[in-house]
Amino acid sequence: MHVFLWIMKPVQMVDLQGQYANIREEIDEAVRRVLAEACYINGPAVPDFASALAAYTGVSHAVTCASGTDALQLALMALGLQPGDEVITVPFTFVSTVEVVAALGLKPVFVDVRPDTFCMDVSKLEAAMTSRTKVILPAHLFGQCADMETIMRSASAHHLFVVEDACQALGAQVTFSDGSVHQAGTMGDIGCISFFPTKNLGCFGDGGAVFTHDDDLAARIRSIANHGMSQKYYYDQVGINSRLDTLQAAVLQVKLRHLDEYIQSRQHAARLYDEALADCPAVITPAKASFSTHTYHQYTLRVAAEHRNALRQQLADAEVPTMVYYPCPLHLQTAYRDLGYREGDFPVSEALSKEVFSLPMHTELTPDQIQYITKQLKNVF
Ligand SMILES: *Cc1c(COP(=O)(O)O)cnc(C)c1O
């Protein structure tokens, strides 16, 4: 093990320095251009990046904003919902998915996730609907999409909006049964993307984007993100201030050109993990849905709950970092107690929160590092 450590770069959960080093000249040049132009708000890189992103995903409109959380908030603000309207979502996700619903005076209604893909269990959807249900808000967790074909069919049958939390899944592709292929975030009425630095397409700070094919929704989202303004200093609706900085847009323009290769490196790393762990029945490697590609924002394993923490400690002792996404489902969090849920309401989410942990996953992982990580993991059993 020590020999490995000498010749190998220390293993990190993510390696943003290594990723930057490989594209330093392109990035530095793009940043220098913004500094020279000194047009920090809505400079030319912002619409240029938005167009490139729309072209990449095939969506009609990509509206950039200040974060993935803001993207979700803008999406819900644009739908003309009333206080108390219900949004069906999942308790096993990052808090933003649910936080924006509650912050806008809407009511999050949870359905459990699937134990294999960690995404919304669509068989539970209809039972969660009431006369107040207005939106279905699936989260495409860890880099693959929820069952969007079923969600869209169900939404259409019940006249509901669909907002995709695609913050972890930019670049994932879903194939519908008619053979059509769709990018994450472009199937629902609105899709939300985050450019948080550790996301598959990350900037050097906060950033986000909202996708829609609908011209009217796009116009409303654009206006709400800019204080609800129609023409300068005239306001048609209550808005917020949510912008992607020109500097971040310039960084993202460069990194978008590398996104496909970044996704391929993650998929390659995942394949090496899968192969190395195939003979280790004590861990369950990530399942792939038949209809979605997996972009491996995270590579998340399941182990028996009683072994997880000791296992993580032993890996930490061998200098292998791991993380638990997410250790407590949202229906059991203090902030969401008023929703009235109790332990036992969402058994899959509750079990996963005790069983999952994620291995290092990023674009700079080497086969040596993966061999080292999986060897340490298998040594524990
Ligand atoms: C990262 C993330 C967000 C929020 O993104 P920020 O840019 O950090 O605001 C929302 N939902 C999910 C599932 C995420 O992973």
Q: Does ligand 1 come within 6 angstroms of the Cβ of 143?
A: no
Q: Cα(374) to centroid of ligand 1, in Å? A: 28
* Residue owning the nearest CA to atom 2 of ligand 1: 167
Query: How does strand 86-89 pair with strand 107-110?
Result: parallel
State mean pLDDT over 163-171: 98
Encode pLDDT of 17-31 as tens digits: 999 999 999 999 999
Q: Cα(6) to centroid of ligand 1, in Å? A: 36
Q: Does ligand 1 come within 6 angstroms of the Cβ of 93?
A: yes
At 60 the pLDDT is 98
Question: Residue 6's pLDDT band (boundaries 50, 70, 90)?
Answer: low
Cβ-Cβ contacts under 8 Å for 231 (sequence gap 6 or more): none
At 209 the pLDDT is 98
At 335 the pLDDT is 97
Q: How far from 21 is each of 25, 27, 123, 256, CA to CA, in Å?
A: 8, 10, 45, 16
- CA-140 nearest atom, ligand 1: 13
Task: State which of 65, 67, 69, 99 you would mutate to test the pocket of ligand 1, scoring each by most atoms of that ligand within 8 A of its C-beta.
Answer: 69
Predicted structure pTM score: 0.97
Average pLDDT, the chain: 96
At 4 the pLDDT is 53
Q: Does ligand 1 come within 6 angstroms of the Cβ of 374?
A: no
At 9 the pLDDT is 83
Q: Cα(200) to centroid of ligand 1, in Å? A: 12
* CATH superfamily placement of domain 259-380: Aspartate Aminotransferase, domain 1 (3.90.1150.10)
Q: Does ligand 1 come within 6 angstroms of the Cβ of 138?
A: no
As a residue count, the chain comes to 381
- CA-199 nearest atom, ligand 1: 1
Instruction: Please give the CATH number for the structural domain made up of 19-111+119-256.
Output: 3.40.640.10
Residue 173 clears pLDDT 90, i.e. is over it: yes
At 8 the pLDDT is 79
Q: Compute the distance between CA of residue 180 and CA of residue 305 in angstroms, rounded to an integer.
A: 39
Q: How far from 42 is each of 30, 212, 307, 374, CA to CA, in Å?
A: 15, 20, 50, 46
Q: Cα(24) to centroid of ligand 1, in Å? A: 26
State mean pLDDT over 120-143: 98
State mean pLDDT over 288-301: 97
Task: State which of 14, 70, 76, 94 you would mutate to test the pocket of ligand 1, scoring each by most atoms of that ligand within 8 A of its C-beta.
Answer: 94
State mean pLDDT over 234-263: 97
Encode pLDDT of 194-247 as tens digits: 999 999 999 999 999 999 999 999 999 999 999 999 889 999 999 999 999 999
What share of the chain in percent tops pLDDT 70? 98
- CA-206 nearest atom, ligand 1: 7
Encode pLDDT of 347-357 as tens digits: 999 999 999 99
Q: Cα(68) to centroid of ligand 1, in Å? A: 5
Q: Cα(58) to centroid of ligand 1, in Å? A: 22
Residue 288 clears pLDDT 60, i.e. is over it: yes
* Residue owning the nearest CA to atom 6 of ligand 1: 68
Q: Does ligand 1 come within 6 angstroms of the Cβ of 206?
A: yes
Q: Does ligand 1 come within 6 angstroms of the Cβ of 69?
A: yes
Task: State which of 120, 194, 248 you would mutate to test the pocket of ligand 1, scoring each by most atoms of that ligand within 8 A of its C-beta.
Answer: 194
Q: Does ligand 1 come within 6 angstroms of the Cβ of 164?
A: no
Encode pLDDT of 48-95 as tens digits: 999 999 999 999 999 999 999 999 999 999 999 999 999 999 999 999
Task: State which of 92, 195, 196, 206 you would mutate to test the pocket of ligand 1, scoring each by most atoms of that ligand within 8 A of its C-beta.
Answer: 196
Query: Domain locations in the chain?
Result: 19-111+119-256, 259-380
Question: Residue 2's pLDDT band (boundaries 50, 70, 90)?
Answer: low
Q: Cα(203) to centroid of ligand 1, in Å? A: 13
At 5 the pLDDT is 53
At 41 the pLDDT is 97
Residue 47 clears pLDDT 60, i.e. is over it: yes
